[in-house]
């Protein structure tokens, strides 16, 4: 299954991985231990066994779709480490490490850094004072980096990362506490197609999305609340939480193959399929610009 368009004439950075490669972290220490978004309530704890079961089903589904899953070691006291999308933004062999806004998650970064270094990535830390939550807030669609800011990441951090990568960035202001990361309300499916939930963005961001994404698909409120936009894309396969029937129907008409898997235990923390994964070889929809690693790897 071609997961990166090598047919393009764009001198893109190519991944060293030869198939979709995804970082996940088993939920051994996952739980609702603090409240940093409106989905989280310590009064509504996650069920340990169900969490493990649901994570296992997602893992198995992604493997069945041809993904190579790499695992990060779970760490006691870091319940949100399971949301690997927030470890950083991967671009070629470089990873821009997160600088979490909330102290509760800041302890994750040394573990993320160590994992990436052991796995031959070059890690880059943002200057102090910038907030940046990795692939939770920064998503390529084509050659453009779409960057959510205000809730967790700062607009200046996004500008800094884009200038390092050498790509165009479209900053998008997030306005709803429930959609606090860009990947909760926006999901690139291919280089010209993305899902989004319009009320999560300010008016300017809505206009920017319409102007810059040729095929923009709005999801319904009830399905946005099921984290429909927090989808994992593997080739033309799209994996979401359960109960997103309208989205799944629409995906079929556009030539995608939808899959559902129960992730309610993770919704309690404000996360779903996409948050539990980090693409190490690049998103389906992304074209990493050649400037990213300093050198373009030729085809
Ligand atoms: N409880 C986590 C937080 O609030 C959930 C993170 C979900 N990750 C994501 N990429 N949206 O930070």
pLDDT tens readout for residues 246-257 = 999 999 999 999
Domain holding 189, by residue range, is 5-293
| Helix or strand run (H / E) with residue 235 | none
Q: Has residue 140 been placed in a domain?
A: yes
229 is catalytic: no
Share of the chain above pLDDT 70, in %: 93
Q: Is residue 52 part of a domain?
A: yes
Q: Is residue 82 part of a domain?
A: yes
Q: Structurally, how many domains does the chain consist of? A: 1
* 89, two tokens: 């933004």
Q: Which position among 181, 237, 248, 259 bears the catalytic label? A: 181
For 150: left if phi > 0, alpha if psi spans -120 to 50, otherwise beta; the answer is left
| Ligand 1 contact via 108 beta carbon (within 6 Å) | no
What is the CA(58)–ligand 1 centre distance, in A? 17
Ligand 1 neighbourhood includes 86 CB (under 6 angstroms): yes
pLDDT level of residue 123 (50, 70, 90 thresholds): very high
Question: Does 299 fall in a domain?
Answer: no
Read off the tokens for 81.
Answer: 């480490």
User: Is the per-residue pLDDT at 175 higher than 70?
Assistant: yes
- pLDDT tens, residue by residue, 255-278: 999 999 999 999 999 999 999 999
pLDDT tens readout for residues 199-208 = 999 999 999 9
Mean pLDDT of 154-171: 97
Read off the pLDDT of each residue in 168-186 and give the average, rounded to a whole number.
98
270 CA distance to ligand 1 centroid (A)? Answer: 6
Looking at residue 2, its pLDDT comes to 40
Does any ligand 1 atom lie closer than 6 A to the CB of residue 183? yes
Q: What is the pLDDT of residues 209-239, one digit of tens each?
A: 999 999 999 999 999 999 999 999 999 999 9
pTM greater than the 0.85 cutoff:
yes
Supply the CATH number for residue 199's domain. 3.75.10.10
Q: Which residues pair with 88 in a beta bridge?
A: 97
- As a whole number, mean pLDDT of residues 284-295 equals 76
Residue 261 φ/ψ, nearest 5 degrees: -150, 140
pLDDT band, residue 198 (cuts 50/70/90): very high
The reply to whether 250 falls in a domain is: yes
Question: Residue 12's pLDDT is what?
Answer: 81
Tell whether 298 is covered by a domain.
Answer: no
27 CB under 6 A from ligand 1? no
Let me know if residue 108 belongs to a domain. yes
Atom of ligand 1 nearest to the CA of 230: 11
Q: Are 56 and 245 in contact (CB under 8 A)?
A: no
Read off the pLDDT band of 57 (50, 70, 90). Answer: very high
Q: Which atom of ligand 1 is nearest to the CA of 105?
A: 12
Q: Is the CB of 149 under 6 A from ligand 1?
A: no
Q: How far apart are CA 295 and CA 142, in angstroms?
A: 19
181 is catalytic: yes
Q: Is residue 151 part of a domain?
A: yes
Distance 150 CA to ligand 1 centre (A): 15
Q: Is 37 in the pocket of ligand 1 (CB under 6 A)?
A: yes
Instruction: Please list, in sequence order, all residues whose beta carbon lies within 8 angstroms of the beta carbon of residue 295, skipping any fewer than 6 positions away.
Output: none
């Amino acid at each position: 299954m071609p997961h990166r368009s090598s047919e393009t004439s764009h001198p893109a950075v190519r991944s060293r991985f030869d198939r979709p490669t995804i970082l996940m972290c088993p939920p051994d220490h996952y739980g609702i231990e603090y409240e940093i978004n409106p989905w989280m309530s310590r009064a509504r704890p996650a069920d340990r066994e169900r969490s493990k079961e649901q994570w296992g089903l997602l893992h198995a589904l992604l493997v069945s779709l041809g993904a190579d899953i790499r695992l990060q070691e779970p760490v006691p006291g870091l319940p949100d480490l399971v949301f690997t999308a927030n470890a950083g933004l991967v671009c070629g062999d470089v990873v821009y490490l997160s600088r979490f806004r909330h102290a509760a998650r800041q302890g994750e970064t040394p573990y993320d850094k160590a994992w990436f270094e052991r796995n031959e990535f070059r890690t880059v830390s943002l200057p102090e004072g910038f907030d940046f939550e990795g692939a939770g807030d920064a998503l390529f669609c084509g050659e453009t980096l779409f960057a959510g800011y205000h809730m967790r990441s700062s607009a200046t951090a996004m500008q800094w990362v884009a200038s390092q990568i050498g790509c165009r960035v479209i900053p998008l202001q997030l306005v709803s506490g429930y959609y606090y990361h860009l990947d909760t309300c926006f999901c690139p499916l291919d280089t010209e197609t993305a899902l989004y939930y319009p009320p999560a963005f300010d008016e300017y961001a809505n206009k920017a999305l319409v102007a810059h994404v040729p095929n923009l698909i709005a999801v319904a409120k009830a399905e946005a609340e099921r984290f429909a936009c927090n989808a994992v894309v593997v080739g033309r396969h799209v994996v979401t939480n359960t109960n997103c029937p309208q989205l799944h129907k629409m995906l079929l008409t556009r030539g995608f193959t939808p899959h559902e898997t129960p992730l309610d235990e993770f919704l309690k923390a404000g996360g779903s399929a996409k948050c539990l994964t980090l693409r190490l070889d690049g998103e389906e929809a992304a074209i990493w610009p050649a400037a990213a690693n300093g050198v373009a790897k030729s085809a």
